């Protein structure tokens, strides 16, 4: 399911492609077939930097299509980070879906126009765009339309399940581990978890397992604020109020949320939809606590840092407002992708220069580790500062380096080990870690 392919029924849709990108640039709400045509139009217009693939199907059999942008589509290049946007998780929250379709058209058009910023972004990043995680719910909401859409109509999938309350609950396990010095990353999934989630959720989790995503955002509606983990509170409500549930990367998450908020035309002003959020950001649990959410799952199960973007007061805004919403969000959508290039990245090798996968990369003072990917490359988002970084794996001596991260692009740190032979640790040979 995760490989690029085109179902037979869609070949007929491809006949509509000539000229569709230009017409697709007009602002409109896209029903499922229209969305698919719009995505394939982009792929047809920019075939050398795009790929379309399906990660699975909804309850009613609609494909969950992803449009990928890369200078080598379909290939993970070592040291090139993987980024994803997910829209329309709640079927009746539709602005994110339309913004991601427009973003895809924009990236293609600007690349063709040789926009240096966009060209560099596509050459240096593998960008995955899933405009609709819940196409079934969208169709329910769209049948009512913007004027008559209810607050909950179409929110869930075809079984009326809220997909943002459907991921395995790893927060409770994490909070237990915090008290017992347990594992702080890549927490285990419960038994029979695949039978406990909806098809759309299953497809997204399998997607996460197939790509070493570094940074992500999921797009919602009903408020205007950038929401960061944790979504689930550590403690019960106190006098009707929930409390801030910070991750070990709380300062970094605040910075990521502010990046979007301040690049947005009005999110950062705070007063929106009758609510006030200082700087246009909020910790999820301090707003309201929810269990089994997707952004917490990303952080606790994968290497990916995800925030939730609430982008409109009106969940199903009229088409006339879409141009203004696009202009309000365009810079923020691009700026947020660029954040994937901050911190440190590098390769993990043994002494024979063989890459090592699933090595744990820890940063002193931040109790949350990431792991290297199948090619031995790792990515660790960090704020500017000086850090002590250690890589470890079974059978190897730890490799440690001190590195200073600046405000610009990620610093590359090569971690090379001396390994145990016949159970005996070798003496380290000079420095085992160096900048490259």
For residue 54, give Cα distances in angstroms to 1, 154, 207, 252, 401.
Answer: 6, 22, 10, 32, 40
Decide: residue 380, CB within 10 A, 0-12 exposed, 13-18 middle, 19+ buried: buried
Contact criterion met (CB below 8 Å) for 334 and 380: no
For residue 382, give Cα distances in angstroms to 75, 227, 229, 397, 404.
Answer: 26, 19, 16, 24, 10
Contact criterion met (CB below 8 Å) for 43 and 107: no
Alpha helices in 25-94 (DSSP H): 32-45
Contact criterion met (CB below 8 Å) for 316 and 92: yes
Task: Select from 220, 388, 395 the least CA-distant residue to 310.
Answer: 220
Q: Give the full edge-to-edge strand order of the sheet including 213-220.
A: 50-57, 63-69, 126-130, 82-87, 213-220, 305-312, 223-228, 281-283
Strands 271-272, 223-228: pairing is: unpaired
- What would the 3-class secondary structure string for 3-28 be? CCCCCHHHHHHHCCCCCHHHHHCCCC
Alpha helices in 280-343 (DSSP H): 284-287, 294-301, 322-338
Please give the Cα distance from 329 to 363 (Å, whole number): 33
Residues in the chain, overall count? 436
What are 316's two structure tokens? 């199903």
Contact criterion met (CB below 8 Å) for 34 and 94: no
Please give the Cα distance from 100 to 110 (Å, whole number): 15
Please give the Cα distance from 316 to 291 (Å, whole number): 25
Task: Write out the catalytic residue numbers.
Answer: 310
Which residues are 387's β-sheet partners? 403
What are 278's two structure tokens? 């200082």
Contact criterion met (CB below 8 Å) for 124 and 131: no
Contact criterion met (CB below 8 Å) for 174 and 285: no
């Amino acid at each position: 399911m995760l490989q690029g392919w085109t179902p037979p029924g869609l070949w007929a849709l491809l006949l509509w492609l000539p000229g569709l990108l230009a017409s697709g640039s007009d602002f409109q709400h896209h029903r499922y077939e229209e969305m698919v045509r719009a995505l394939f139009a982009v792929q047809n217009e920019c075939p050398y930097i795009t790929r379309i693939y399906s990660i699975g199907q909804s309850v009613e059999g609609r494909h969950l299509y992803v449009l990928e942008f890369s200078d080598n589509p379909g290939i993970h290049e070592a040291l090139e980070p993987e980024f994803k946007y997910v829209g329309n998780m709640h079927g009746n929250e539709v602005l994110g879906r339309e913004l991601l379709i427009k973003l895809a058209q924009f990236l293609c058009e600007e690349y063709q126009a040789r926009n240096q910023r966009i060209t560099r972004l596509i050459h240096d990043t593998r960008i995955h765009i899933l405009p609709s995680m819940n196409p079934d719910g969208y169709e329910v909401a769209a049948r009512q339309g913007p004027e008559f859409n209810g607050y909950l109509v179409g929110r869930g999938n075809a079984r009326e399940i809220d997909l943002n309350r459907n991921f395995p609950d790893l927060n409770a396990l994490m909070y237990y581990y915090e008290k017992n010095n347990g594992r702080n990353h890549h927490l285990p999934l419960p038994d029979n978890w695949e039978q406990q989630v909806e098809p759309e959720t299953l497809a997204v989790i399998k997607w996460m397992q197939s790509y070493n995503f570094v940074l992500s955002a999921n797009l919602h509606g009903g408020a205007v604020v950038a929401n960061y983990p944790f979504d689930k509170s550590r403690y019960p409500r106190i006098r009707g109020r929930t409390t801030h549930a910070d991750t070990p990367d709380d300062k970094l998450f605040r910075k990521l949320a502010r990046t979007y908020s301040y690049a947005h035309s009005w999110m950062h002003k705070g007063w929106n939809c009758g609510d006030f959020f200082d700087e246009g950001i909020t910790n999820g649990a301090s707003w309201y606590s929810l269990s089994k959410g997707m952004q917490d799952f990303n952080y606790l199960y994968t290497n990916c840092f995800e925030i939730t973007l609430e982008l409109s007061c009106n969940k199903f805004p009229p088409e006339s407002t879409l141009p203004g919403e696009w202009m309000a969000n365009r810079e923020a959508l691009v700026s947020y992708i660029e954040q994937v290039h901050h911190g440190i990245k590098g390769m993990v090798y043994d002494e024979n220069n063989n890459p090592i996968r699933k090595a744990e990369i820890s940063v002193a003072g931040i109790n949350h580790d990431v792991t290297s990917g199948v090619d031995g490359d790792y990515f660790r988002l960090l704020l500017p500062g000086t850090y002590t970084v250690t890589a470890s794996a079974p059978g190897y001596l730890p490799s440690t380096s001190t590195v200073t991260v600046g405000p610009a692009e990620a610093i590359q740190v090569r971690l090379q080990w001396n390994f145990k032979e016949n159970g005996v640790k070798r003496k380290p040979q000079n420095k085992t870690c160096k900048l490259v």
